[in-house]
Structure 1
Amino acid sequence: MLDHARNLNDPPEPEHGPEADLRAVSASAGPAPIDPETARELLPYFRNAKALAPPTAAQQAGRTVLARVNGVSERYDEWRLAASRWFDSLDLAPDLAENIGSRRWFRGLGTMVGLGVVALALWPDLTPLEARPAMPHGDAVTSELRSQMILPLALGADSGRRMGPTQAVIPLKSAPERPQIQMMVTLTPGDSFAAMLRRAGVAADDIDRAAALVDQALPLGEIASGTQMDVLLGRRPAPGQPRPLDSLAFRARFDL
């Protein structure tokens, strides 16, 4: 009895033999295949299940886009038909030989005049054709070309670009002056000798002294208009003071 109880409590021992091997192979092979007849009977059920299944997100988006496109096409067809009926009812080009003076006749006359005005507005220009320039024009190109040219001597003969001051520029308290300034002045008609020197920047004392020296050789009133004089001004004695007259040379007459 004890041996029988021990045999019941122990786990079953593995079976051996051909039958055990067949059962193991059938269990590992999976479920048995369905015969063709049964598959044909189940095919309608699978088809109905696919048709009755809820649509996926992609299918729902496609249906929405298709509905919108169909709605737009239907509205376009309605608008096209309405526009066609409206243009058919206008009668913009009636026969002007019929019902002269009626509203329909004046409408046709207005159409003819309007088309004529449009034709005249589109009349081509008879000016000669201009070839495309080899170099494009514009404000930037003009400014660049202007910076490369040389101005006349009367305008300073400048050339190149003028650069603006940078942070490296230091303002000077006082700019140094040249020790001497040489110039040529001309006695204009109706002008006087003293006024000419005063405009040149000569001090009043030097003007009186020069006038006295010139008057010893030739009266100042006899100096002809257009006489050119070489004036040489010296260094200023003090800032803001006029320059002294270093020399004055001119030829008033050929015999002098």
Structure 2
Amino acid sequence: MAKTLKIFFISDIVGESGLNLLETMFPPIREKYSPDFIIANAENSHEGRGLNRSIVKRLYDIDVDVITGGNHSFDKWKIFSYMKTDEKLLRPMNYPKGNAGYGYGIYPVKNSDLKIGVLNLQGRTFLPQIDDPFSTAEWALERIKKETDLVFVDFHAEATAEKMAFAWEFDGQVSAVVGTHTHVPTNDARIFPQGTGYLTDAGMTGPFDSVIGMDKKTSINRFRLGTPQRYKIADKDNRMCGVYLEIDPESAKCLLIEPVIFPEFNNRAN
């Protein structure tokens, strides 16, 4: 029997603060968990919106295997030509045909004969009305499963209900569904009846002295005044949010799903 497949997912990297934290703190975390495969969502990594080729290289330098995205994947147009060439850099697959980039990929797992499919999708509730993620997933899974039953889904969505509905629909068809986008880690990690590991939202990697990564005063003014405010990223209280998973390579079922927050929050007043 093949050894358990260990996956580490790094959630929503926000700006230079999140990147610097990863470059400093992820190596010992990687040593602790010894993942076989590392995935990172980086759609907010460049100035809070989008990413660039330099950031892609920095993530590969800390052993990230695949980069996923979301509704900000297309915010920096200079990355478009590169997105067409790098199959390890994903964006939500259910954007209309003609957009740059890849929505899924099948990748070798180092030091094994395993392959894993990674599928990036985006919800439509309170987000742009792009193509249906459910039928898109069906189309992609038909192709992925010709090569592997091990499938990880980054479902980038605003609505908790949409993420959960997707997980129920594809329970047993994919190994894990991990939600991103809200930047707020949820406390509902579990394994569904047919073996799919699930978490509504994995949170963010970046400054928590903020409003979901943004400068507090800027965000407060946005809500108080009801008008656009200059986009400004915060830079204090940096933490990494992620998810560690163990998958049975034979059944493709999730055996363990464990949210990771580092440093952990202090829930008791000093």
Query: Shorter-chain TM-score: what band?
Result: under 0.3
Which of the two has greater helix per residue?
1
Normalising by structure 2, report the TM-score. Answer: 0.18
Higher relative contact order (CA 8 A, sep 6+): 2
Comparing both structures, which one devotes a greater share of its residues to strand? 2
